[in-house]
Amino acid sequence: MQNDASTAGYFRSLFDLSFDELITPKIFKLIYLAIIAFNALLYIGFVIAAFKADSGAGAAVMFIFGPIGALLSISLARMTLELAISLFKIAENTRQTAAAVRDQREAPSEPASSALGG
């Protein structure tokens, strides 16, 4: 049931012409999973290619270079996505702060005499 609501929210955000709702934060999980899957396929491809060239090279790629490369690649992708998420959160918090300041300015202020009790 919540998946239907999030899908509806995604499509509503997709066609939001005022750009009040952002869709990128909603698809970060999917992007990260795609990066992990791509790295797994790349790792398998490199291992197969290395074994075709030489069994020693295949073992080295399988146990040393492949895992290190995959971990570095996935780590870099994760850091990049976390940076992007941080930027979206900063934008959201800035929007909320601006709205709070705007609401505070628009609210009628109390006269100084009533604040002093007189």
pLDDT in tens, 43-58: 999 999 999 999 999 9
**Domain segments of the chain: what residues?**
27-101
Contact 95, 20 (CB under 8 A): no
Contact 77, 32 (CB under 8 A): yes
Q: What are phi and psi for residue 79, nearest 5 degrees? A: -65, -40
pLDDT, position 36: 98
pTM: 0.75
Residues 61 and 39: their CA atoms lie apart, in Å, by: 14
